[in-house]
Structure 1
């Protein structure tokens, strides 16, 4: 109440200077609104449209030696520097994709190797290829937790600055899920988030691993498995897989 009386008295004592202050405040408000209208909104900035948001999840468990891990990097680097893959990226409605790469092994061992990158030109694709080729191995050993890899990957989509017509996890592995939560839990987590999971089964140690991926790993509209007989074969298989993932139509 005392504040109200004091304010009223002040208004009576200084009508001219208060009028000037009101006018200045109004001018600042109008200018502020104009700046808000002219500046890009935070929503727009956080939803850069792309054709697909793609998580590349590489097996870095104990069953993968250094040479085999390097073959995974080489295969991905060659794929993104391939003219046909670059043409596929430019062939979508938005002519752009977003990519991140991570390594996984045990239930508690995952690491992002390359943060989200916008790929919208041959130059940006070649830059990603070089970054992949030079990427160090961040997870050296561990069990095989495909389920934990999915639990780790799904939240990465919400944390990026892109809005893709599809959200896809491209997971490569050479063994069964043997650590952490069940494969059913991991797959249901991805399915519930509307994320597509595609698999690349490297069958150098486990026969019919592709069948296991079909039954327990992949999920979502148009999801698929590609098999590689060994890590040498991975180099060719990952290119085929990326072409198929990039060219897939939007989910209706």
Structure 2
């Protein structure tokens, strides 16, 4: 009887023991943010994007969403414009604490714009994202958060990127910024986003970028949808 009791206690202790560190540390989401720095974005608008993103990253609601899930989030940020003008601002960084988000926000604020006179090669920006996801830590889900104020006007379109790059398992959300291009929100809805639950946040101008980015990040970090749907 005593041996049975000890065995029962040992089993109970094993069931109550914390999961192995590898299981606890499983990354739940690789989130890649793409910022438009094409010629349609002037210096003031670029500053609004950089400052707005930094502010969104340390917003209490975003911080809470990032840290409340089961497992950390891997975050990376890049700028895009022309066919070969994509630059990493923040490489893949595991977010485990508010301090990690603050560090990323500080790195964003120190960013120096690499390009400012190239067209809008949105298809190439998506292709670049596919290659960068290949370098991400292993995570349960991958989401691309791409923002822009113009339609593709250089190189292959988004449709071709989806046909030729390994993006089938990536959810792509958009932040469409009005002002430089007419009907930009509908363009992102029709041509850019893909995947289960994909959505577009709309900012009527760069003045609204910070708030739109905050809403977008909070939504992406809080919601994980199981399964994948094919792109139409």
TM-score range, shorter chain: 0.7 to 0.9
Runs of at least 5 residues in structure 2 that lack an aligned partner in the other structure = 1-20, 228-232
1:187 Cα deviation from its structure 2 partner: 3.2
- 1:125-164 equivalences under 5 Å are 125-160=101-136, 162-164=137-139
1:247 and 2:205 aligned = no
8 Å CA contact retained: 1:76, 1:129: yes
Task: From 205, 211, 224, give the equivalent of 2:199.
Answer: 224
Runs of at least 5 residues in structure 1 that lack an aligned partner in the other structure = 1-43
- 1:165-244 equivalences under 5 Å are 165-189=140-164, 192-244=167-219
1:101 and 2:57 aligned = no
Structure 1 residue aligned with 2:94: 118
1:192 and 1:86 map into 2 onto residues whose CA distance is: 27
2:170 and 2:47 map into 1 onto residues whose CA distance is: 28
8 Å CA contact retained: 1:167, 1:196: yes
TM-score (ref. length: structure 1)? 0.77
Instruction: Work out which of the two has the higher radius of gyration on C-alpha atoms and give 1 or 2.
Output: 1
Structure 2 residue aligned with 1:92: 69
The structure richer in helix per residue is 1
> Which 4+ runs in 1 deviate beyond 2 A?
187-193
TM-score (ref. length: structure 2)? 0.84
1:85 and 1:190 map into 2 onto residues whose CA distance is: 30
8 Å CA contact retained: 2:123, 2:156: yes
1:228 and 1:75 map into 2 onto residues whose CA distance is: 12
Secondary structure at 1:98's aligned position in 2? Answer: strand
